[in-house]
Every structure is written in C-alpha cells, then in structure tokens.
Chains A and B, each alone.
Chain A
Amino acid sequence: MPLLDVNDLTTYFHTRNGVVRAVDGVSFQLEKGETLGIVGESGSGKSVTCMSMLGLIPQPPGRIERGTAHFDGTDLLHCTRKELQSIRGRRVAMIFQDPMTSLNPYLRIEDQLIEPLLIHGLADKVSAKKQALAMLDAVGIQDAASRIRGYPHEFSGGMRQRVMIAMALITKPDVLIADEPTTALDVTVQAQILELIKKEQQELGTAVILITHDLGVVSGFCDRINVMYGGKIVESGPTKEIFYNPQHPYNRALQNSIPALQAKGKELYTIPGMPPDMSKPSAGCSFAPRCEHATDLCTSEPPELQDIGQAHTTACLRVQRENLKP
C-alpha cells in the first residue's frame, strides 16, 4: 500500500469571473522514501494539488469538489480538522516558494523552529530548543547558537530557506512537500538547497514531493515525475522514461524548450500560444489548441491517462490509439 494515495482530486475556485478548474481529477501515489517530481508551467495546478491535500487552500473561494487523499489510512480531504492538524507539520511537512515571506517576521527563529515540536507535544521546551539548535546546525547555518536568537530579517534568502527546511524536518515527517523551494533563490544557492533536501531525505527516510517548473531540477533529483498541464496530469512515469522516452506532445515540447539541449546559435524552441484559461473547460484535450499534432479527435474527446508500458502513462489520445511518433 502506498504511503500517500491521491485519487481524482478536484479543486475549483469559485470566483466572480466563473469557476476556475485549478485541479481537475488528479490521481497519483507516493511510496515511502520516494522522491516524486511534479512539473508544469505556472497555473497548471501543481501547488494547488499539494495545498489541497493539507487543507491550505483559502476557502472560499477555493473548494475541494471531489476525490480522496489517503495518507496512512486517513483521508486528508474528509477527516476532521483536528486530525488534519495532527498530521500537518508532524507527518506531512511543507516548505514554500518564497522564503522571504514564509517566516513570521515578528517571532524569533528559535520560537518558530521549536513550534512544530511543541504543537504536536513531541518535546518539552528545553529539549525542543536543543533539537532546534542541532537541526539548524545540520542545515548548514554557521554560528547557529547565536543566530537562533535572531529574527528572519537578519537572514538572507538562502538562509531563510534553510531555516524553513529545518523547521519542516524537525519532526521527522514521513512526507516533505517542497513547493518550488529554489525558485526565489540565486542559482548557486539553488543547488545547495536541493543538495540539502537530498541529504536530509536520505538521513530521515522522508518521501519528498518536489514541485517545480524547472526540468533541470527534477531530472537529477526525482525517482518519478508527473507532468501537469491545465489542472491534469498529462504524463507520468519514472524519470528516465519521462526524459528519454517522452510521449505526450506537451512533455516533448517542454524538453525541446530547455536551453541547454539546443545547438548553440539556434533559435530557442518555444511552445506557441498561451496557457489555457482554466475557467473555460474544453471538450477535448486542453493542450490541443497549442499542439502541432492536434486533430479533430483531440478537440472533441477528453483524454484519460493510459499505461503504455514501463510504468509510463500518458494522456495523449493519438499516442494511445494511433501510436503517434514525433
């Protein structure tokens, strides 16, 4: 049985301009200690998927319409608030995109670090402080003993993300959800933060869900990858399959857009068109308007994920039925 089993998760935002289908029937599993990447462009529903599981969607306007998310026997989407609170931070922890705003500017680093331990009754104040110091040391903060008494504004962006990681992992959670943890950071710091997550993951045996729009990040980091587009998973499989055997035209187009894979001097490949308007549902495949292989079939029939071997699933009808090859 997988550690986390998400089935048909659907989250809509009911706004004045209509219903925005942010996440539309997403299913995936996460095994113990595994690293899962969720890739997609802005607005594809990556973050909303994970925040829905932890009940962090602002409601209203957001609403979880359908689906289940079983974590170790508990359905996160339908359990009581108390149950969810006891899982958040203790068994499933999360770090966010912008470390500059994700720490409380009015509280000392120490108070924020020990908070998960105190909330969940895992330690008393004295031993919590000791653990916090050790954790801060482990995430590579120099001179942790004095820095721990400081406030967030005295830390740089990379340091704050390290603090966030320390805070998330201090309870030794089973799952760490990292929502674009390196997006707001310098390139040099990005690599350090990813390495840190990897190191801590190996030490604690934590499963990691890494949300990113950077294919370069997931390629070296994840065991499996879900590619999301328009609130749906369009392709899913082991990292090797996703990169060496891309099937869905969107996945292929994404990989053609990586600058490093282009010959020097050649014009950079870009996907034509704009991301879909999620408040207007399409009858067929939501990528069809931008897809160079789209036919009448694609605009009329909604695609489903289908196994095409090697634990690789794809949601392109033409790949499934006509064996489309680029």
Chain B
Amino acid sequence: MLKFILRRILETIPVLLCVAAMTFFMCRLAPGGPFDEDKQVTAEVRELLNKQFNLDQPLHKQFIQYITHLPTLQSFKYPNRTVGEIISQKFPVSAKLGFFAMCIALGLGVLFGVIASLRPNTYIDYIPSSLAMIGICLPTFVMGPLLMLVFSLQLGWFPATGWGGFSGDQFFASDMVLPSVTLGFFYAAYISRLTRGGMLDILTQDYIRTAKAKGASGLRVILKHSLRGGLLPVISFMGPAVAGLIAGSFVIETIFAIPGLGQDFVKSAFNRDYTLVLGVVMFYATLIILLNLIVDILQVTLNPKLKFD
C-alpha cells in the first residue's frame, strides 16, 4: 500500500507541471494585462511597474520563478499580500462550505437512495427519485435565489447573504444554511440516484438471500451485507464530486456573497492577476489529485477483490 501511495504521488509531479505550464502560458497569451483597469499611466511608470513585478524578464525565466516561489509571490491586485496568504485566508471558508454541502449530500443522498431501493417502483421510490431528478436538473444559480426568496424574504428563517455573521469566527451560523443546502442539494440528488442503483443491484444478489436465511434482521441485511457493495458507485463518484464542490462553489459564493476562494479564482482570471491565478489553479489541482488518491485507497479497502497495483 505504501508503495502504491508513493508511486501515485510521484506520478502527480509531471501532471502538476503540465497544469502549471498550461495555466501560465494561456494567461500570458490572453490579451490584456494586470494593470489595464488602473488609471492610464505614462510609459515610464508602466516600465517601473513591469520591473517591480518582474514582467520585463524573459517569459521562461518568469515561469521558472513562478513555479519555484509560488506561495511567496505577491498578488498583482493586492500588492501587499502574497498568494499563499490569500489562499490560506480564503480557503477555510470555501472548505467549510464544501464540508457542510458534502455532509448534506451524503446524508440525504444515501438515506433517500437506500429507502428508494427498498421499495422499488412504489411511491416510496417515486417521490425521492423525482425530487432527485429535480435536484439534478435545477442549476444552482436558479436554486440559490429560489431558496433565498422563500426562506429569507418570505419566511425570514435564514439571512439571505453572508458567512458566519459579522465576526465569522463561530463554527456554525444561520447564514451558512442556505448556501450549504443549495450546493449540497445537487450532489444529494446525484448520490441518491447512485445509491438507489447500487443498492438495487446488491439487494437482488444471492448472498442477500443467504443473509436472510441465516436469520439476519432487515436492518442487519442492509447495514452489514448491502451497504458496502451498494455504496461503491458513490465512493467512486466522491472524487469528481468533491472537485465539483470546490470548483463549483464560486457560483454559490457569488450568489450568497461569501468571502471564499472561489470568488478569487474567477476574479483573478478577469484581473489578469497572473500570480494569484497560477496559485489557485495549482492549489485546486493538488487538492483534486489528493482527493482522488484517497478515493482510490477507500475503494481498495472496501472491495477485497481489488488490490493495490
């Protein structure tokens, strides 16, 4: 297992290099520059700025400098802060949003998927399945404002925007509910469909009959004999799902005005904030590779037929 993990980590180095190179050169190929939105300046000032941010160096030298000093480079937009500082300050907010959303997605998704699979093609199945279909079809930028309208403006249960009130230092606040639900609902819908399919497949297997013949109770049949195999499709979906949660959260962060990393991700691209773009991309890429590795390890642990090679 250790060998497997080491090899996978070594494999990520060329992948990350490719991602870095593509991001860097695509940014540079795109028209415009980091100072375009500022006031018009004279040629001398522009030259000084370029010198200060090393933009006067040859491109390949800049690239090497970027990838070797990425976290300590300063942002173009916020010159007094480094890329590392911005990520370490904003990412916890996005991570928390993603974590809450994932809890909702897994909790609701698995629960409703299992319930639906126990009574297939009855109302107990149709109602969660239809809800799940709605969840999959409804984009988050429709779902978010809808929830806001109903639960904030009409019912007044939760604040419409914000994250963690004013102080932002408590673990949970009421304004975290709507964004987490909006983001989690789509994945809950998808996971419930995957769970239902996986469980239906397992529940018709011969070994479930064997378990019943042993005298196992209904609950034991589900928890001990079915869930492990039934959740395998969900586990393989978790890698892409978490990636989607992180990359997709910028829509939610924009709708609900949450100061997360997703907003910086999009804004930095528009601002041509070369250093911050590269920093955030590399950070997300590493995270996604890491999560996929965890999912692969989980799969091998859950399915004894798979081996680490």
Contacts and interface: CB of A to CB of B under 8 A. Distances in A.
A119 B214 contact: yes
A153 B304 contact: yes
Nearest to A85: B215
B88 interface: no
Interface stretch (A23-31, A104-112, A207-215, A244-252): A104-112
A296 to B, nearest CB: 44
Nearest to A90: B215
B213 interface: yes
Interface string B271-306: 000000000000000000000000000000011110
B204 to A, nearest CB: 8
B212 interface: yes
For chain A, the bracket of interface size reads 20 to 34
Interface residues of B, number: 21
A89 B214 CA distance: 4
A93 B206 CA distance: 15
Interface string A28-67: 0000000000000000000000000011100000000000
Interface in A69-85: 85
B205 interface: yes
B84 interface: no
Given A101-B205, A101-B207, A93 B213 contact: yes
A120 interface: yes
A132 B57 CA distance: 74
A301 B123 CA distance: 44
B205 A94 contact: no
A105 B215 contact: no
Contacts of B210: 96, 102-104, 164
Contacts of B80: none
A103 B208 CA distance: 9
A88 B212 contact: yes
A54 B209 CA distance: 11
A87 B212 CA distance: 11
Contacts of A101: 205-207
A101 B208 CA distance: 10
A116 interface: yes
B243 interface: no
A151 interface: yes
B40 interface: no
Nearest to B213: A94
A208 B143 CA distance: 61
A119 B207 contact: no
A102 B207 contact: yes
Interface of B: 205-207, 209-217, 220, 224-225, 228-229, 302-305
Given A87-B215, A96-B210, 11 more contacts: A56-B213, A88-B213, A89-B213, A93-B214, A94-B213, A96-B206, A107-B225, A107-B228, A115-B216, A119-B214, A119-B220
Interface of A: 54-56, 85-90, 93-94, 96, 98, 101-108, 115-116, 119-120, 151, 153, 164, 167
